[in-house]
Amino acid sequence: MKKVSFLLILFSVLLSNSSLLLAQTEPEDIKLNTDKFQDYFYEALKQKGIENYDKAILELEKCLKMEPENATIHFELGKNYLALKDYKNAYGSFEHATKIDPTNKWFWIGMYDVDYATKDFNRGIITIQKLITFDPKFKEDLTSLYMSTSQFDKALELINELNETSGKSDRRESYKIQILSQGKYQNTEIANLIEQISRYPKEESNYISLIYLYSKNNETDKMLETARKLETEIPTSEWTQVSLFKSYLENKDGEKAVKSMNIALASSKIDSKIKHRILNEFLIFTNTNPQFADALEKAVGYFDNDPEVNVAKEIGKFYHNKKQWDKAIGYYDKAILKGAETDIETNLLLLQAYTETKKFELLNKKAMDMVELFPTQPQFYYYSGLGYNQLKQFKKAKDILEMGLDYLVDDKTLETNFNIQLGEAYNGLGDFKKKEFYFSKANQLLKQ
């Protein structure tokens, strides 16, 4: 019943469009022509409904012969051509409809459907700009079209406009990330964010986005300056802890600095570069304030799942360079537990620290484990031989050192050390001739 009512209304509209023609026609002819038009149109709708698009087109063409400038018939033709993927005729039919009645948005949507189906995004931009005059919501489609045609400057401008007028959306934010991955657009976005902060100082997301961009550009001072502004405007923001932490450190208030640091490191909102900087500053602070060593160890735990940096290893290297060997060993052990068990550098640093602290049993055990893992790395043979010598197991020292020499290539310092340890091993075995041979060879290498 609803469909019949709709068609009756449609026919009344169609009839009104033909008033001039009807005024010059006899009543009998009017009824006859109207009946035929309705019959053709009904049949077209019926054929389209059962997907006989070719037959529907034939019936609509009969309608056109009677009313060639009927926009509705051209629109229906367009829909049937589109169903047949006859895009040229579909577009032409929709376009003809818009020329007859440019105020009907559905005629323009028909044109856009063809543009989308044929991926003619440049022509689609022209069509969608017309549709925006009917409904501003079509700006969302325009954003996608700008992205598809690599008009990123226009896309970014429109995204910022829509973010301000309609709120942010996941799709637009994804587009923005894609655009800003190209450095040349970052300055435009930075200027936009600074303006947004000025206009809307209580909107936290703008500060966070600006800090993120400064982070990508390694502009740390600007990052901290933005964090301080955020602290002033939104004291409850997790990001304010970044500037508070720095302030507490400057005032040597370690207790408060630890509280701010822990909040910042636990936050999912704060950028990892900022977190690494916080930890590094606290590490330096702890070096002169060792009473906070436990807090530092807890802070390292926040980075256990960091895919880019093994933080425990880096802290170990910090203490290594300061020759604080026991602290270095503690952090190297943590690093190995957290995924660096097969990292050659970490294990060599640990072996060096064991050597400096005269932990020769640990040195030898670790070195032999690494020989099994990396049988072509001569450094591990060297440390194993050194350990055996210190444990007075000279035969084992000699054997492992001679094996390691086979893998030694173009490293005079390591070759010198091998010869010294071999000299020590033969000295322990009482073979003084070979002892002198290896010590002499070591001296020759030192002179080169």
Closest C-alpha to 69, from 88, 42, 92, 97: 97
Which residues lie below 8 Å from residue 88, measured CB to CB, with a gap of 6+?
none
Q: Among 124-133, 266-275, 357-366, 398-407, name the one with the lowest average pLDDT.
A: 266-275
8 A C-beta contact, residue 332 and residue 353:
yes
pLDDT cut 90: percent of the chain above it: 53
Q: What is the pLDDT of residues 277-313, one digit of tens each?
A: 899 999 999 989 999 989 998 998 888 888 778 889 9
8 A C-beta contact, residue 381 and residue 371:
yes
Report the top-level CATH class of 358-448.
mainly alpha
Residue 232 structure tokens: 């002033």
Q: What is the pLDDT of residues 367-390, one digit of tens each?
A: 999 999 999 999 999 999 999 999
Write the burial class of residue 413 (CB in 10 Å: 0-12 exposed, 13-18 middle, 19+ buried). exposed
Write the burial class of residue 183 (CB in 10 Å: 0-12 exposed, 13-18 middle, 19+ buried). exposed
**CATH 1.25.40.10 region(s) of the chain?**
1-118, 358-448
Whole-number average pLDDT of the chain = 86
N- to C-terminal Cα distance for the chain?
Answer: 105
CA distance 19 to 12: 11
Choose which CATH entry (3.60.15.10, 1.20.810.10, 1.25.40.10, 3.40.1160.10) describes domain 1-118.
1.25.40.10
- The per-residue pLDDT for 31 is 46
* C-alpha angle 15-65-32 in degrees, rounded to nearest 5: 50
Q: What is the pLDDT of residues 185-236, one digit of tens each?
A: 778 888 888 888 988 898 888 888 888 788 777 787 788 788 888 888 888 8
Q: What is the pLDDT of residues 71-122, one digit of tens each?
A: 999 999 999 999 999 999 999 999 999 999 999 999 999 999 999 999 999 9
Higher-scoring residue by pLDDT: 2, 401: 401
Closest C-alpha to 168, from 188, 195, 196, 148: 196
Average pLDDT (147-160) is 89
